[in-house]
């Protein structure tokens, strides 16, 4: 099995753990922005420490960074933040389930961005695998009452497509940033990009919250013992994603990374004793077919 596959599966598993930890933060009285900020505020120094340790162990100097690196890193980091807020905005929509389904078009949008912005087209077998995966994700996103009962609004559709596109653009930015680091080691390139991106995201969100939610920064600081595990899980998962981006086309990584939905459902079944619906079984089956196609054909 290729290294990028192993790294991506590991990153998806860790991200599932982070989501479970981050969900608990809302019970601490943090706003959506505060819970999101907690992901970055500890991840940034942890990523920088990991990079420093790796450079010290190998006796290497900090690699030089080009303007193209900073452009890719800033684009990816900003796109991820805006995509997160667009996703949160969906929760206030009556037809949010439909909108959330459209965020799952991310994998296809990544494929388009990859070809247009990085000159890395997706092969025909790869596109077929991505399409099967998207169908599986949409099946998993089906609300209990069905799509007809969920209703539809142009605002929800727009937010869903916007979030999916921006998450896709962030993946392309991160892939592009890792390719701009002048070093053969994918882990070093990943940590270099991750350190810079999380630092920029932390500063950007801190400035936003100081302006829009001035008391939230203090609340995050007071709950640091509960927030720290989220930061640790976040930086481990992000290190995995960035390493996978350094190794493989972002479209394949994000498509395979949708296995996290299977992990989340299994966690709900095993931990919370929830029952599987027929749509979830179909969705997981399609996702597994997509994953096998990616592993065997790419």
Is it the case that residue 147 has pLDDT exceeding 80? no
pLDDT of residue 275: 75
**Percentage of residues in the chain with pLDDT exceeding 90?**
42
Confidence of residue 103 (pLDDT cuts 50, 70, 90): confident
Q: What are phi and psi of 61, to 5 degrees?
A: -90, 160
The mean pLDDT value for 205-215 works out to 89
The tokens describing 54, both together, are 């790796």
Does the pTM surpass 0.85? The reply is yes
Q: Which of 277, 252, 296, 13 is nearest to 133 (CA)?
A: 252
The mean pLDDT value for 138-146 works out to 70
Please give the sequence-ordered ranges of beta strands (E in DSSP) within the chain, or none if there are none: none
Torsion of the alpha carbons at 176, 182, 188 and 189, rounded to the nearest 10: 0
In angstroms, the Cα distances linking 244 to 7, 60, 112, 140 are: 6, 22, 19, 25
pLDDT of residue 298: 75
Domain range list for the chain: 3-297
Structure confidence by residue, pLDDT tens digits, 235-293:
899 999 999 999 999 999 999 988 887 887 777 777 666 677 787 788 889 988 998 99
């Amino acid at each position: 099995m290729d290294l990028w596959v192993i790294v991506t599966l590991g990153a998806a598993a860790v991200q599932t753990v982070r989501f479970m930890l981050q969900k608990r933060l809302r019970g601490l009285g943090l706003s959506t922005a505060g819970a999101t900020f907690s992901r970055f505020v500890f991840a940034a120094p942890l990523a920088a420490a990991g990079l420093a340790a790796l450079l010290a162990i190998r006796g290497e100097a900090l690699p030089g960074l080009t303007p193209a690196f900073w452009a890719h890193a800033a684009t990816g980091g900003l796109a991820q933040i805006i995509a997160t807020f667009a996703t949160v905005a969906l929760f206030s929509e009556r037809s949010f389930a439909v909108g959330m389904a459209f965020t799952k078009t991310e994998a296809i949008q990544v494929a388009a961005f990859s070809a247009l912005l990085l000159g890395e087209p997706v092969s025909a077998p790869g596109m077929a695998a991505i399409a099967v995966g998207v169908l599986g994700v949409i099946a998993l996103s089906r609300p209990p009452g069905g799509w007809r009962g969920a209703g539809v609004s142009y605002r929800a559709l727009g937010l869903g497509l916007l979030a999916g596109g921006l998450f896709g653009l962030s993946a392309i930015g991160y892939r592009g940033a890792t390719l701009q680091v002048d070093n053969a080691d994918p882990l070093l390139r990943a940590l270099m990009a991750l350190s810079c991106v999380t630092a920029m995201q932390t500063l950007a969100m801190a400035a936003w919250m100081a302006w829009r939610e001035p008391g939230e920064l203090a609340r995050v600081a007071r709950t640091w013992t509960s927030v720290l595990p989220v930061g640790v899980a976040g930086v481990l998962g992000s290190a995995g994603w960035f390493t996978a981006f350094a190794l493989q086309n972002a479209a394949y990584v994000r498509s395979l990374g949708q296995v996290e939905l299977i992990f989340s459902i299994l966690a709900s079944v095993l931990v919370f004793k929830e029952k599987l619906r027929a749509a979830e079984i179909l969705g997981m089956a399609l996702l597994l077919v997509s994953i096998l196609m990616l592993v065997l054909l790419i």
